[in-house]
Structure 1
Amino acid sequence: MTNARTKLLVLVCAVAVLAAVATTSVLHAAARSERRDVARPGGPTVAAGRVTLTDKRRILFRNMAWGPHRDELTTVPAASPTGARTASGVKCLRFYAASGTGVCLQAVHGAVQDSYRATILDTHLREQAHFTIPGIPSRARVSPSGRLAAWTVFVGGDSYAGTNFSTRAAILDTRTGTLTPSLEDFAIRKDGHRYRAADVNFWGVTFAADDRHFYATLATKGRTYLVRGDLRTRTLTTLRTNVECPSLSPDGTRIAYKSRDKGLPADAPWRLHVMDLRTLRDHPLAEIRSVDDQAVWQDDATLTYALPGDYGADLYAVAADGGGTPHRVLTAAVSPTYL
């Protein structure tokens, strides 16, 4: 056999192998997709129906149960959360809503790779506007009035990020359409002084009721801080260290957050705390498992948060005063909003 024929045979074999691998990958992907669309025995009952942001005394969340309605915004009565679920047909990776405005962080599936966008929804979950976002969705919030929406995404490629990713936090005024694409554009006051650094990151925005002030996490030089933001002056002021993913209570007096507590393992370092904003004193909550989430206030006395579950995540609740015992609210659910 000549050298040319040998090379040709090798090339043909290589192409055949690659084609077989590609075919197998496509078939496996299709099989996984089909399995996702099949409801599993013992899982929650989910059916398509009418879902709006005006339905009172209900929980709205991203449904994680396997089946045709996985990843859809879904609702149950707050008084009977284990009952049948009503799915909206709208898919979100992260979601939050208040006063008839929703923010839905979505994946846009492409032929080569996925992209992501933030979609603003009205009371009937109809799209009002959407914005391309530069990374993987992480957190979402809406101000109590419904006027302001915020989202946080993971972004790769920043040269200063030792883990090869960083975060971006954006705020949108839904009334004027004004978008602040990154809080890094704000002036920072740290420990009473103007602060600038290339490695600053922000995430986990939570809004005050005045549609001017908000709280968020600032990370720099290996430490995290709770910051208070002012949209009018475009400033951020540090308040305390070791605060991540803050969540402002409905009465505006306390912040729930996750803290890196000493003595916890490196792969599960977070403990939920609640801080009094007037005194900056805090206390840990009764949940001793590591919670990597931005907790949601069910009311002024109770917090809801996600923990890993059989379908990806389950929702739990615990008292905000540090007492009581955590209990599971919903299986196969994440990103809750209490309507």
Structure 2
Amino acid sequence: MSTLSTRARIAVTAAAALLLGGVAVGYTALSATPEPDIESGTVSGPRLQVLSNGRLSAVSSTDPSGPREVTEERCDRAYTAGGTTACLRPVSALKAGELAVLDSSRRELKTVPLIGFPNRARVSASGRMVAWTLFVDGHSYAANGFSTSTGILDTKSGALVTSLEDFASFVDGRAVQAADRNYWGVTFTADDNRFYATMSTGGHRYLMAGDFAARTVTALAENVECPSLSPDGKRIAYKAAVNGDPQQGWRLSTMDLATLAVTPLAETRSVDDQPAWLDENTIAYGMQRSDGVNDVWTVPADATGTPSVLVQEANSPAPL
């Protein structure tokens, strides 16, 4: 893990901003998914948002293999809820990345300059709260020594937290001030104040319960990454490191928040994504093929059934 403090990271990354243009092309070549061009059509009725070759798109929820609406809005990661879209725009050879907050007509409401490589994005059910995660150092959660930057924006009040490392953190009732803390994978509750996220420190990865107004995060359980809260607020879907070792991959699982009981799902391949609930019974996630192309898959949330492809050549699923 990085041993830089928040202020030191800001100073280092600010100085590195001028270098981003030089490394962006190489990073894109290594990490981007070379999805082919998708023919754009018209979609009516209930829809599912995805990214198609990095472009904000929508497919029919009832016919996801049918026509696909493809916009010109480019995002490395995206999520939409409550009429608000969080789009993490790509780092380019000439420009550092940014968060773009869009309304239901894709009009830009706000942008937040960011330094790092886009990785996770989430919006609260009401559309008020927006969260994002970027890699500052490293490109994988399985590697040692990576560093992340996770922030939250309240679109109603304008309150902006650029790093969750500024919040007071507690594990087993004790304050944690270690410089190696990293946060990622935020998901919001219905009250637009509380949230869940992952915090890593000292070789442990915790499910943290956060309070935005109080600026605190408190550990609830270990070996939980990239949580996603169910529509009823009673469970999270997440990725759990196999045998507690991320280098062995991750098992998609759910956890009952009242009992902390864990249910591994029928997807046994390693899933490195923040899952999304399509409804109370179905979880969606991105999987990369051997050729680098992404597909959106689904699996039942109760450990039954088998995984199946929902949308080919797409990622970042979000029910609209």
Q: Aligned partners of 1:46 and 1:121: how far apart in 2?
A: 24
1:47 aligns to 2:28 (yes or no): no
Q: Is the 8 A contact 1:48 1:88 kept in 2?
A: no
1:74 corresponds to 2:57: yes
Question: For 1:179 and 1:37, how far apart are their aligned partners in 2?
Answer: 34
Query: Residue 46 of structure 2: which of 57, 64, 73 is its match?
Result: 57
CA shift, 1:302, in A, is: 0.6
| Aligned CA distance change for structure 1 residues 311 and 76 (closer, same or farther; 3 Å) | farther
Amino acid at match of 2:39: V
Asked if 2 retains the 8 angstrom alpha-carbon contact of 1:139 and 1:294, the reply is yes
3-state SS of 1:184 partner: helix
Corresponding residue of 2:271: 291
Matched, 1:186 2:179: no
Q: Pairwise mapping of residues 70-109 of structure 1 onto structure 2 (< 5 A)?
A: 71-109=54-92
> CA shift at 1:163, angstroms?
4.3
Kindly provide the CA deviation profile for residues 223-251 of structure 1, in whole angstroms up to 9, marking residues without a partner as x: 10000000111110000000000000000
Q: Are positions 1:246 and 2:246 aligned together?
A: no
Between the aligned partners of 2:36 and 2:86, the Cα distance in structure 1 is 28
Checking the alignment, whether the CA contact within 8 Å between 2:36 and 2:313 is kept in structure 1 is: no
TM-score (norm: length of structure 1): 0.79
Paired with 1:37 and 1:273, the residues of 2 have a C-alpha distance of 28
Aligned equivalents of 2:195 and 2:119: distance in 1?
A: 18
Would you say 1:222 and 2:211 are equivalent positions?
no
SS in 2 for 1:278: coil
Aligned-partner SS, 1:205 = strand
* 1:282-337: CA deviation from partner (whole Å, max 9, x where unpaired): 11000000000000001011100111124521111000011111111011101011
Which aligned pairs between 1:1-339 and structure 2 lie closer than 5 A? 39=37, 45-47=38-40, 56-64=45-53, 71-111=54-94, 114-156=95-137, 163-262=144-243, 267-309=247-289, 310=291, 312-339=293-320
Report the Cα offset of residue 262 of structure 1. Answer: 2.1
Larger CA Rg, structure 1 vs 2: 1
Call closer, same or farther: CA 1:92–1:117 in 2, change over 3 Å: same
Alignment length (residue pairs): 282
Contact 2:35 2:52 in 1 (8 A): no
Query: 2:35 touches 2:293 (CA, 8 Å); kept in 1?
Result: no
Unpaired segments ≥5 residues, structure 1 = 1-35, 40-44, 65-70
CA distance in 1, matches of 2:157, 2:71: 28
Q: Which runs of 5+ in 2 are unaligned?
A: 1-33
Could you tell me the percent identity over the aligned residues?
46
The alignment's TM-score, normalised by the length of structure 2, stands at 0.84
Distance 1:296 1:200 in 2: 25
- CA distance in structure 1 between the aligned counterparts of 2:102 and 2:91, rounded to whole angstroms: 16
Measured on the aligned residues, the alpha-carbon RMSD in Å equals 2.0
* Displacement after TM superposition at 1:134 (Å): 1.6
